[in-house]
Structure 1
Amino acid sequence: MNEQDAKQKYGAYFITAEELAARLDGKQAMPDELRTDAHLICNTPAAIDFNSPGAQGFGVKRAGLSVPGSIMLLVSPGCCGRNTAALSGSGHYGERFAYLVLDETDIVTGSHLQKIPEAVRAFVASRAERPSVVMICLTCADALLGTDMERVCRKAEAAVGLPVRPCYMYALTRESQHPPMQAVRETIYGLLQPRRKDPRQANLLGFFTPVAADSELFSLLERAGIRKVAELARCQTYGDFEALAAANFNLVLADEAMSAALALEKRIGIPAIRLRRLYATDKIANQYRALAHILGLGAEAIAMENERERAEQATADFCAQYGKKAVIAIGSRLNANPFELALALVRRGLAVR
């Protein structure tokens, strides 16, 4: 059956690998139906343009290593661990990984679970400096086996005398109510232990890279009497990380960190305040006024007219330069709230596809 016959019979686009190779060998363009930049292929959160939680960027593996001094044992079949090599190029992540590769017998019987504590002990012993934490990264193989990883980690912890925590790289749960990037934040912040609170410290929770140093958020918090604004990405040592537990409150900047923040509120008494990701300046101003009210400040103490004026001017300059010719696409990889961003751009008269 050829491409045209398949279209007529199934009512959907279809092309064989042989037909696609012939097109490309003949210098024909990639069919529009296969181009993700030409149209929406599949309207689901992950879509066909699917990226495993551990494949690139701050996936589960890189996120687990955001704790200073941590190392990670990746327990997986070889096929699931291969993309970890891509992390070795920056941040010396490759030096902080070890592998326990599962064979077919392990996957069928779960026999690898007996090997994990010894593998952790050998990994820790191989390090020139004693690590702060050992993260054990699991794949869908253990999700399907129903592994009790908390129990395995307790055994490994007893073997090495260090915190050992699970990181679940379960792509199967990406669209569930407890996706991998939410779970890994809970694991990370679950390491914090109660300590005396500093009324002039606040934490920013949500991201694995630091908030821009020139963000108006810092001057806003300074006006609120906050002298130390801490965040995971700025922690240089494990001591810096432990000091996050002294915060008077957490500002939650990303939805995926909300469950971790609520757990901290319940476990060590750090209240959580949520800030939504907004892009329209009027909405941002309203949210800051609400924050001022929560912090018990008067409106004049948190007025940010100069900052808003600069934002308005930057927006006007962008629209003047691109507004008449640019057609904007908001992609699935964008580090943003796509609906709020689209709304803000449309309200400015820009064309958003």
Structure 2
Amino acid sequence: MHSLNLQQSSCLSHFEDTLRYCSPSHGGWGVVRMGMLVPESYQLFVCPFACGRHGAIGAITQGFKDRLSYLYIDETDIVSGGYEQLILEGVEELLDELDFKPKVLMIFVSCLDDLLGTDHDGFLSELRERYQDMRFTLCHMNPITLDSKVPPPVNIQCKIFGLLEKSEEPVCRQMAAFCGNNVAIDKESEIFAVLSAAGYTDILHISQCKTFSEFQQMSRAALNVVPSPMGAAAAGDVKEVLGIDYVYMPVSYDFEEIDQNYHKILSKAGLSMDFSHFRYRTQNAISAARTEVGDMPVVIDNSATVRPFTLAKLLLSFGFNVVEIYAQDCKVFEKESYQWLCNNASDIRILQPEHPRAPAVRRHDRECIAIGFEGAYLTGARYVVNLVNDETLYGYHGIEKLMKMIAAASKGTTDLRLLIRQYGLVV
């Protein structure tokens, strides 16, 4: 593996852009699973045979196979010039066969589609004319856009919230909605007290919507709260189309940033709050976890959190023995924490989990705690914190909860294979 010491003061010198390795612990919320958040929706994938494997197995594993179909295409379909007509016929056949009528059909095309110059607007207009009581949206399953400004996780969020329609009912000034986080934040988080203080007492999240009609109520929100970088573009689109204001306040493990995020909401109501009691309680929780863990090595990876460098900075500040960080790159919002590590923790190694040499140096049965599945697999950590994508965590409460998870993980060895199976990861 490309071993990376934080000895240089210049940022971003530790990440090699090369072929990528995909471990059995790699994965999370693919576009299929994210799209399934839209209630009463159905998905049709139009792609070659090989492209359907990941999504199909994931749908079976995660219980969505009754809401997903595939229209497989081959070389003949591509060169014959009948690709768009094939999609129209495939949709007609699918809707005739289904024993229920979905409110939304999400048509996914693969990266191959980008090379064909398909007239998406043309066949979507025809479908909307044929089935006027249904919604249709075109989505992309396009891994080659991972390093673009609109990678698949961002694109699918835009498609999901692009389904919201302007309501005939008035805007509800007491309603706010979360945008971009696939899993709802714990109700115990102080973010709800902050929202309530600012006058937002009716809080929505897409995972709580059982029907498409309930999902459409999100278009009546007065404010969208964006706790995940994946949702920023979608919230911007919604503001442009529906006029709903939003605040971008990404999950963080930095006290000052947490306070700043909350003030973004409070300032809209001309208010301020003192968060010192939250901070004091969180500091105690961190200290308690540090006592429980002792000097056991800690590994952090970016499958557990989008803020691995910020989390490492927090843990180091409280005396945790952080030894390695697994991160494929450094996101823009992580550069400040990364630079802090460059200047203050030169003995920590940063390793790329998808580097092609990663499996060659994989270790086994190592006496350490891994925060995240990817780091656990590559280090062979005996103790694993069951965290993926910061799910349910936010603010001071989120840090407290994570500390309890770390302390609990240190008390007994973990069956990583079981955790991966329970979460539904599919490579």
TM-score bracket relative to the smaller structure: 0.7 to 0.9
| 2:230 aligned to which of 249, 256, 264 | 256
Aligned residues of 2:198 and 2:265 also touching (Cα < 8 A) = no
Q: Partner residue of 1:204?
A: 178
Which stretch shifts more, 61-70 or 283-292?
A: 283-292
CA distance in 2, matches of 1:44, 1:182: 23
Which stretch shifts more, 213-222 or 68-77?
A: 213-222
Asked if 1:84 corresponds to 2:55, the answer is: yes
Q: Partner residue of 1:141?
A: 112
Q: Partner residue of 1:235?
A: 209
Structure 1 residue 173: Cα displacement:
0.8
User: Letter of the aligned partner of 2:230 in structure 1?
Assistant: E
CA distance in 1, matches of 2:129, 2:17: 40
| 1:49 aligned to which of 10, 14, 21 | 21
Structure 1 residue 216: Cα displacement:
1.5
Aligned counterparts, 1:166-181, within 5 A: 166-181=138-153
Task: Indicate how the Cα distance of structure 1 residues 128 and 83 shifts in structure 2: closer, same or farther if over 3 A, else same.
Answer: same
Q: Partner residue of 1:188?
A: 160
| 2:30 aligned to which of 38, 47, 59 | 59
Aligned residues of 1:190 and 1:260 also touching (Cα < 8 A) = yes
Instruction: Tell me the TM-score normalised to structure 2 length.
Output: 0.67
Q: Partner residue of 2:317?
A: 347
Structure 1 residue 106: Cα displacement:
1.8
SS at match of 2:187: coil
Aligned residues of 2:191 and 2:262 also touching (Cα < 8 A) = no
Deviation string 1:309-343 (CA, Å, 9 cap, x unpaired) is: 332221111122224222x2222322332222222
In angstroms, what is the RMSD of aligned CA positions?
2.4
CA distance in 2, matches of 1:110, 1:333: 41
Aligned residues of 2:59 and 2:68 also touching (Cα < 8 A) = no
CA distance in 2, matches of 1:47, 1:320: 41
Aligned residues of 2:140 and 2:155 also touching (Cα < 8 A) = yes
User: Letter of the aligned partner of 2:237 in structure 1?
Assistant: A
Q: Partner residue of 1:99?
A: 70
Q: Partner residue of 1:23?
A: none
CA distance in 2, matches of 1:343, 1:247: 36
Percent of counterpart pairs with the same letter?
28
Aligned counterparts, 1:179-328, within 5 A: 179-195=151-167, 196-297=170-271, 299=272, 302-326=273-297, 328=298
Task: Indicate how the Cα distance of structure 1 residues 49 and 329 shifts in structure 2: closer, same or farther if over 3 A, else same.
Answer: farther
Aligned residues of 1:117 and 1:152 also touching (Cα < 8 A) = yes
Structure 1 residue 135: Cα displacement:
0.3
Larger gyration radius, structure 1 or structure 2: 1
Aligned counterparts, 1:319-338, within 5 A: 319-326=290-297, 328-338=298-308
| 1:127 aligned to which of 98, 101, 107 | 98
Structure 1 residue 289: Cα displacement:
3.0
Task: Indicate how the Cα distance of structure 1 residues 114 and 307 shifts in structure 2: closer, same or farther if over 3 A, else same.
Answer: same
Task: Select the structure with the greater relative contact order (CA < 8 A; seq sep ≥ 6).
Answer: 2
CA distance in 2, matches of 1:155, 1:50: 40
Q: List gaps (5 residues or longer) in structure 1.
A: 1-32, 36-41
Q: List gaps (5 residues or longer) in structure 2.
A: 4-13, 325-427
User: Letter of the aligned partner of 2:253 in structure 1?
Assistant: Y
Equivalent pairs, count: 308
Aligned residues of 2:224 and 2:247 also touching (Cα < 8 A) = yes
Asked if 1:108 corresponds to 2:79, the answer is: yes
Aligned residues of 1:194 and 1:268 also touching (Cα < 8 A) = yes
Aligned residues of 1:110 and 1:145 also touching (Cα < 8 A) = no
Aligned residues of 1:68 and 1:237 also touching (Cα < 8 A) = yes
Structure 1 residue 46: Cα displacement:
9.1
Instruction: Tell me the TM-score normalised to structure 1 length.
Output: 0.80
Q: Partner residue of 1:15?
A: none
Which stretch shifts more, 340-349 or 160-169?
A: 340-349
Structure 1 residue 208: Cα displacement:
1.4
Task: Indicate how the Cα distance of structure 1 residues 102 and 274 shifts in structure 2: closer, same or farther if over 3 A, else same.
Answer: same
